């Protein structure tokens, strides 16, 4: 298993319950795919460095996890089809 981290930005129009539901959804994808979540850090609502699709702020969340190399591909697919995700990135965190 390899160590990864993902950070994603949710649209600011989502309410707190929808943000929590999306975070739980992504955690479920990791855990159901055989991954182990090490840390979940919810940064909250912050201003973006630049405007994306006329949006200048969003809800940031960082998740550190360990998983097999196939899991990030599935997580990326889920990020892409989920409404409300403004941006996301998954990085291999091994040195």
| pLDDT, tens digit, 9 for 90 and up, residues 61-75 | 999 999 999 999 999
Name residues whose C-beta falls within 8 Å of residue 1's C-beta, 6 or more positions apart in sequence.
35, 36, 66, 67, 68
pLDDT of residue 50: 92
The alpha carbon of residue 57 and the mean position of all alpha carbons in its chain are separated, in whole angstroms, by 16
CA-based radius of gyration for the chain: 13
The CATH H-level superfamily of 1-56+80-86 is Ribosomal protein S6/Translation elongation factor EF1B (3.30.70.60)
pLDDT tens for residues 26-36? 999 999 989 99
Nearest to 11 by CA among 82, 90, 91: 82
Q: How sure is the predictor about 89, in pLDDT bands with cuts at 50, 70 and 90?
A: very high
Domains in the chain: boundaries? 1-56+80-86
Q: How sure is the predictor about 53, in pLDDT bands with cuts at 50, 70 and 90?
A: confident
Q: For the chain, give the percent of residues with pLDDT over 90.
A: 87
């Amino acid at each position: 298993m390899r160590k990864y981290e993902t950070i994603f930005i949710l649209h600011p129009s989502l309410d707190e319950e929808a943000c929590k539901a999306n975070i739980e959804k992504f955690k479920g994808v990791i855990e159901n795919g055989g991954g182990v979540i090490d840390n979940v850090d919810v940064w909250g609502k912050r201003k973006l460095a630049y405007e994306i699709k006329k949006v200048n702020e969003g809800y940031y969340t960082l998740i550190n996890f360990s998983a097999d190399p196939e899991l990030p591909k599935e997580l990326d697919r889920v990020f892409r089809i989920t409404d409300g995700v403004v941006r996301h990135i998954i990085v291999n965190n091994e040195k």
